[in-house]
Amino acid sequence: MTIAKGDRIPATTFAKMTENGPEQVSSDEFFKGRTVALFSVPGAFTPTCSAKHLPGFVEKADALKQKGVDEIACTAVNDAFVMGAWGKSAGADDKVTMLADGNGDFVKAAGLTMDGNKFGMGTRGQRFSMIVKDGVVTELNVEAPGEFKLSSADHLLEQL
């Protein structure tokens, strides 16, 4: 079943790159007591994700925070090393937290997987964005396959 507005974020574990290597991040703790703009991409360093999706959130980080967002996070079914390198290359360091969902546990639990086998990518996360307030989804935007409109930083800003 796909997660919906009003649902609690599933209890899973992400990983994020730190100076000391990958660090485990509990979804319960990450989303607790604050407002998070979370977006998901099919893969780090892929064309639309690198040219539009992540750069849009880096560019609009201050505007999102002015509208009450405490943290902006990007997730993908990639490992913490790849997500860390992608974040650095995109200048996301102090603007977007890169959360690796290496085994796809989060997107599976949220019911937001996609089949990327025809691209040699296996099971990945769909392109989506959401606002999460204290662990509860208050806005959810899931893209149709091949689209990039609803999950953008601009669209999320309009919803706040």
Quick one: which of 22, 28, 2, 19 has its CA closest to 135?
A: 28
Quick one: which of 3, 20, 4, 21 has its CA closest to 12?
A: 3
Identify any residues that bridge with 130 across adjacent strands, giving them in sequence order: 38, 140
**pLDDT tens string for the chain (160 positions)?**
799 999 999 999 999 999 999 999 999 999 999 999 999 999 888 777 677 889 999 999 999 999 999 999 999 999 999 999 999 999 998 999 999 999 999 999 999 998 877 887 778 889 999 999 999 999 999 998 888 889 999 999 999 9
Tell me what pLDDT residue 78 has: 93
Tokens standing for 73?
Answer: 């996070």
| Residues forming the active site | 49
Q: Residues 112, 104, 106, 43: what is their CA dihedral angle, to the nearest 10 degrees?
A: -70
